Amino acid sequence: MSFDIALSGIQAINDQLNTISNNIANAGTFGFKSSRANFASMYAGSQPTGTQIGSVSQSIGLNGGVLNTGRSLDASINGRGFFVAKDATGQTTYTRVGIFNKDATDYLVDAAGRKVQGYSLTPPSTVLGPMGDIKVPTGLLPAKATTSIDFVANLSADWTPPTGTFNPADATAATPVVPDPDSYNMSKVTLVHDSLGNEHTVTQYFIKDSTNPLQVNVWVSVDGVDLSVTTPPNNPSYALVFDSNGKLDESSNPAIAGGGPYTFNVGFSAAPATAMSVKLDWTGTTMQKGESTTSTNRADGYAAGSYIGVDLADDGSVITKYSNGEKQTIGRVALATFPDEEALTPVNDTAWIANNNTGTPNYSEPGKGVAGSLSVTTLEQSNVDITSELVSLMTSQRNYQANSKVITTENQMLQSLMQAL
Q: pLDDT category, 236, cuts 50, 70, 90?
A: low
Q: What is the pTM of this model?
A: 0.78
Phi, psi of 395 (to 5 degrees): -65, -40
In terms of DSSP bridges, do strands 362-364 and 335-337 run parallel, antiparallel, or are they unpaired? antiparallel
- In whole numbers, what is the pLDDT of the chain averaged over residues? 89
Going by C-beta distance under 8 Å and a sequence separation of 6 or more, which residues neighbour residue 394? none
For residues 204 and 218, give the distance between their C-alpha atoms in angstroms, rounded to a whole number: 6
Cα end-to-end span (Å), the chain: 21
The pLDDT value recorded for residue 171 is 46
The pLDDT value recorded for residue 358 is 94
Count of beta carbons in the 10 Å neighbourhood of residue 313: 17
Please report the domains of the chain, with CATH numbers, ordered by start residue. 2-62+382-420 (no CATH), 71-136+317-377 (no CATH), 148-299 (2.60.98.20)
Residues 247-269 have a mean pLDDT of 88
Which tens digit of pLDDT belongs to each residue from 37-75?
A: 998 888 888 888 888 888 888 999 899 999 999 999 999
The pLDDT value recorded for residue 258 is 82
Which tens digit of pLDDT belongs to each residue from 308-321?
A: 999 999 999 999 99
Which tens digit of pLDDT belongs to each residue from 373-420?
A: 999 999 999 999 999 999 988 988 898 888 888 888 877 887 887 777
The pLDDT value recorded for residue 226 is 66
